[in-house]
Amino acid sequence: MAKEIMLKYGCNPNQKPARIFMKNGGELPLQVLNGRPGYINFLDAFNSWQLVRELKQSTNLPAAASFKHVSPAGAAVGVELSETMKKVCFVDDLDLSPLAGAYAMARGADRMSSYGDFAALSDVCDKETALLLKREVSDGVIAPGYTDEALAILKQKRKGTYNVIQIDPEYRPEPVEHKDVYGITFEQGRNESVIDAGLLENIVTKNKDLPEAAKRDLLISLITLKYTQSNSVCYVKDGKTIGVGAGQQSRIHCTRLAGNKADVWLLRQHPKVMSLPFKAGIHRPDRDNTIDVYISDDFMDVLADGIWEQFFTVKPEPLTREEKKEWLAKQSGVALGSDAFFPFGDNIERAHRSGVSYIAQPGGSIRDDNVIETCDKYGIAMAFTGLRLFHH
Nearest residue to 112 (alpha-carbon basis) of 162, 141, 74: 74
Query: 156-208 pLDDT, tens per residue?
Result: 999 999 999 999 999 999 999 999 999 999 999 999 999 999 999 999 999 99
Residue where a domain stops, chosen among 172, 207, 226:
172
- Residues 62, 91: one domain? yes
All residues at 6 or more sequence positions from 375 whose CB lies less than 8 Å from its CB, including other chains: 205, 207, 348, 359, 381, 382
**In terms of domains, do 307 and 345 share one?**
no
Query: Do 38 and 57 lie in a common domain?
Result: yes
Q: What is the CA radius of gyration of the chain?
A: 21
Confidence (pLDDT) at 304: 67
CA angle 240/128/120 to nearest 5° reads: 50
**If we measure between CA atoms, which residue out of 189, 220, 260 comes closest to residue 105?**
220
301: in domain: yes
> Does residue 90 share a domain with residue 23?
yes
Element (H, E) at 33: strand 30-34
Specify if 205 maps to a domain.
yes
Q: Is 209 inside any structural domain?
A: yes
* 347: nearest Cα among 363, 333, 331, 328: 363
300 lies in the same domain as 355 = no
Active centre residues (catalytic): 68-69, 231, 392
CA geometry: angle 215, 212, 207, nearest 5 deg: 70
Specify which residues 336 forms β-bridges with. Answer: 235, 359
CA–CA separation, 137 and 115 (whole Å): 6
What's 15's domain CATH number? 3.40.140.20
In angstroms, rounded to a whole number, what is the distance separating the alpha carbons of residues 54 and 357? 24
Residues 203 and 312 reside in one and the same domain: no
Residue 306's pLDDT is 75
Contacts of 337 (CB under 8 A, 6+ apart): 218, 221, 222, 224, 225, 233, 234, 236, 359, 360, 361
Q: Is 145 within the bounds of a domain?
A: yes
DSSP 186-222: EEEE-------GGGG--B-SS-----HHHHHHHHHHH
Domain total in the chain:
3
Q: Same structural domain for residues 123 and 227?
A: no
Neighbouring residues of 236: CB distance < 8 A, sequence distance ≥ 6: 217, 218, 220, 221, 224, 242, 334, 335, 336, 337
Residue 15 and residue 126 in one domain = yes
pLDDT reported for residue 74: 96
Q: Is 72 helix (H, G, I), strand (E, B) or coil?
A: strand
pTM, two decimals, is 0.95
* Cα gap 28→50, rounded to integer Å: 16
In this structure, the answer to whether residues 345 and 216 fall within a common structural domain is: yes
DSSP state of 15: -
For residues 60 and 216, give the distance between their C-alpha atoms in angstroms, rounded to a whole number: 11
**Same domain flag for 141 and 261:** no
Q: What residue type is assigned to position 124 of the chain?
A: V
Helix/strand/coil for 16: coil
Residue 8: which H helix or E strand, with range? none
**Span 250-308, pLDDT tens digits:** 999 999 999 999 999 999 999 999 999 999 999 999 999 999 989 988 787 777 677 78
Please check whether residues 150 and 293 belong to one and the same domain.
Answer: no
pLDDT value of position 296:
87
Residues 215 and 71 in one domain: no
Domain residue limits at 108: 4-172
Q: Which residue numbers in the chain have pLDDT < 70?
A: 304
CA nearest 361: which of 230, 224, 257, 222? 222
The answer to whether position 177 is within a domain reads no
Instruction: Classify residue 23: in a domain, yes or no.
Output: yes
Alpha-helix residue ranges (DSSP H) falling in 227-345: 251-267, 271-274, 284-295, 299-305, 321-329
